[in-house]
Amino acid sequence: MRNRSLSFKLTVFILFSVGLIFLAAFAYNYYFSREAVLGYVKENAGNLTQATVSRMESVLSGVQKAPRQLALWLELNPYREDDLLKNIRALLLGSPEIFGSTIAFEPGAFQRRKFFYAPYSYREKDQTIKTIFLGDGEYQYFFRDWYQVPRELNQAVWSEPYYDEGGGNIVMATYSVPFNRMEKGAKVFGGVVTADLSLAWLQEIVGAVKIYKTGYAFLISQNGVFVTHPRKDLILRESLFSLAEERGDKNLREIGRAMIRGEQGFVPTREMVSGKKSWLAYAPLAASGWSLGVVIPEEELLAGIQQLNREVLLIGLLGGILLVIAISLVSGTITKPLRFLALKTKEIAQGNLDSDLPESGSRDEIGQLTRSFGEMRLALKMYIRHLAEVTAVKERIESELKIASTIQQSFLSRHFPSPGADSPFDLHALLEPAKEVGGDFYDFSLLDDDHLYLAVGDVSDKGVPAALLMAVTKTLLKSLAGPGIDPADILKRVNQEITRENAANMFVTVFLGILNTSNGRLVYSNAGHLPPVRIRSGREPEWLPLPKGFVLGGLENARYRPETVILEPGDRLVLYTDGVTEAMNGEGALYAGSRLLAAVRESASGSAAELVGAVKDSVQSFVQDNPQADDITLMGVLYRGKRKGSEIINN
């Protein structure tokens, strides 16, 4: 047998194929039976979920319709106090699913002598309608979410579920519709009309959903908070995300995100309390932004298939035992080398690459296989060592890039003032890093009602160190800024701080200014940065004169000087980094300051966003497909002057 071919030996072992065929047939039957059951359950669960959602949606739509109509009536018709009380009462009489309703006016909007005015009608336990007036020192309704959110968004919204202490004194959700009133010929916010929905009604509908023995349904709000659940202690106290965090369940967290995004699905998960394997069907309630979920335990779902498979497996096991006894009597000696080789290769597969392989002097396939495994073991050791080195380098680089990118993006403000707002200034900025992370930054904020803080900077290096230094510099600058504080003094103090800790010998260029929006006085200083462009009405764009100042992080005792310029209403500034002027096209030519002035000249009368967009488009048109070599940062500022009525004040 020693010199026999492996094909001869495999002839003896052919009987083992019977077992393989059986296992394959068993696995095939189990897999497709399971898929068929899951498909059937998915369809039924989807239908059940949609039917429940439709039932709730029909009621929610009716709840929404009544306050919308009342809000429209308030905007189009004159009214007195008794008209308001009658309409609120009529709303409840016409919509039995609504627990309570109020018309909450802005302070002094209904009657100047009444700071609070919010008549609230609700149903008593005996279904009689009672009316009270909301608003006092303890219950200031205009600070409540059901009032503030529609006021700020200027649109109708559903509130998060809450316990309305001082109003209906029940757990409810409120649908709020804002309405306007006419004041001096213009529309101004007048208040909100609400419709309160008792969660007891939702609990009754959702609690009626049953599937298998222990399957159940639950409802979550727009933030993932449990609105209904068989476990009462979870309602309004826990959310899908808090449970996922408590259990460390990333899958449940992703399911929660999909549900609050308004998606629909049927996915495997674990039951939120017991942790057992389950399936979850979910669908959104479009009217309120909530989502309904139906939990189906997997052991109940697959109970029939598992019982059948256990019986089939038992029959196959008994037959297999008889077959093994018969074959083992013949194959014991023949398979001994293979068994020993399999044992050693198992150790290799578990990571023991130093395990000794059995010596084989035979020339058949077993001998060849043994020698091949020996060669493979050596090759694997070399490959794993090389792979570990490469993986460590790659993970370190990816980690640094991710951290730096997160830091940089989180430090940049993207909330710019609206161009049409009645504000003394208009501002817009952008930062386009050349790679994943960069060292550029911009910053702006109102220090008080009349002082606007502006900063643009560029770190000398790139990558993670530059991103970290950018974050530190930006934070230090802003923490020291304030009305009446000299920008030169700010740069001096930040430079001293950075220089003391600058082991990497990097530096930062910064332009820093504080604009008095009431009179146009701009006090600024410079730390080795490029001069901004100033645009004055009827004149050619020009460079803003800069005081001398060394870069931050270069010399600990560097001095900085302030400069002052008075901006006239209509003046514009363009701040930038060298990624703009040093942008290079395919022929190696630089964009340079002349092209920047030309781009600014063409959009000299536009808004801040148009000014920034014009420069960005000009740079892109110049470089075309040439790769971006440096970060590009732009900030546009339009000074309008302080306004009073239709006049511009510039003291």
Mean pLDDT of residues grouped by 10 in the chain (651 residues)? 53 64 68 70 78 83 89 90 91 88 90 87 88 86 90 90 70 90 86 89 82 86 89 87 89 91 90 84 86 87 69 73 64 61 69 66 66 72 78 73 64 73 87 82 92 93 80 91 92 92 85 95 96 93 94 91 95 94 91 93 90 94 89 94 52 37
Cα-based distances in Å from 198 to 163, 175, 275, 288, 552: 10, 11, 31, 14, 61
What is the rounded CA–CA span in Å between residue 650 and residue 520?
7
Helix axes 365-410, 303-349, angle to 10 degrees: 100
The four Cα atoms 241, 245, 250, 252 give a dihedral, to 10 degrees, of -40
Within 8 A by CB and 6+ apart from 485, the residues are 514
Neighbours of 51 (CB within 10 A): 12
Burial of 171 (0-12, 13-18, 19+ CB in 10 A): middle
Q: Which helix (H) or strand (E) holds 71?
A: helix 16-76
Q: Which residues of 373-385 are buried (b: 16+ CB within 10 A; e: fewer)?
A: beeebeebeeeee
Long-range residue pairs from 642-648, CB within 8 A, at least 24 positions apart, any chain: 642/424, 642/450, 642/517, 642/518, 642/519, 643/422, 643/424, 648/569
The four Cα atoms 300, 302, 307, 309 give a dihedral, to 10 degrees, of -160
Pairing status of strand 265-270 against strand 162-163: unpaired
pLDDT score at 477: 93
DSSP annotation of 74 reads: H
What is the rounded CA–CA span in Å between residue 345 and residue 357?
8
Q: Is 442 helix (H, G, I), strand (E, B) or coil?
A: strand
Q: Do domains 59-201 and 332-410 have the same CATH topology?
A: no
Q: Which residues of 561-584 are buried (b: 16+ CB within 10 A; e: fewer)?
A: ebbebebebbbbbbbbbbbbbebb
Are 452 and 483 within 8 A, CB to CB?
A: no
Cα-based distances in Å from 640 to 135, 523, 545, 608, 619: 41, 17, 21, 11, 27
Q: Which helix (H) or strand (E) holds 244?
A: helix 240-247
Residue type, 19: G
The four Cα atoms 365, 368, 372, 374 give a dihedral, to 10 degrees, of 120
Task: Give CA angle at 115 (112, 120), nearest 5°.
Answer: 115
pLDDT score at 645: 44
Task: Give CA angle at 372 (371, 373), nearest 5°.
Answer: 90
Map tokens 């259990």 to a residue: 247
What is the rounded CA–CA span in Å between residue 458 and residue 551?
10
What is the rounded CA–CA span in Å between residue 596 and residue 618?
8
CATH of 59-201, one of 3.30.450.20, 3.40.50.2300, 2.30.30.90, 3.40.50.300: 3.30.450.20
How many residues are recorded in the chain?
A: 651
What is the rounded CA–CA span in Å between residue 32 and residue 6?
36
Q: In terms of DSSP H, where are the helices of 481-547?
A: 487-500
Map tokens 């399971």 to a residue: 34
| φ, ψ at 597 (rounded to 5°) | -65, -40
Beta-ladder partners of 584: 590
Within 8 A by CB and 6+ apart from 645, the residues are none
What is the rounded CA–CA span in Å between residue 2 and residue 366?
10
Burial of 586 (0-12, 13-18, 19+ CB in 10 A): exposed
All structural domains of the chain with their residue ranges: 59-201, 228-298, 332-410, 412-649
Q: Which fold has domain 412-649?
A: Phosphatase 2c; domain 1 (3.60.40)
CATH of 332-410, one of 1.10.287.130, 3.10.20.340, 1.10.3720.10, 1.10.10.10: 1.10.287.130
Residue 78, token pair as written in the block: 């004159």
Are 404 and 437 within 8 A, CB to CB?
A: yes
- pTM as predicted: 0.44
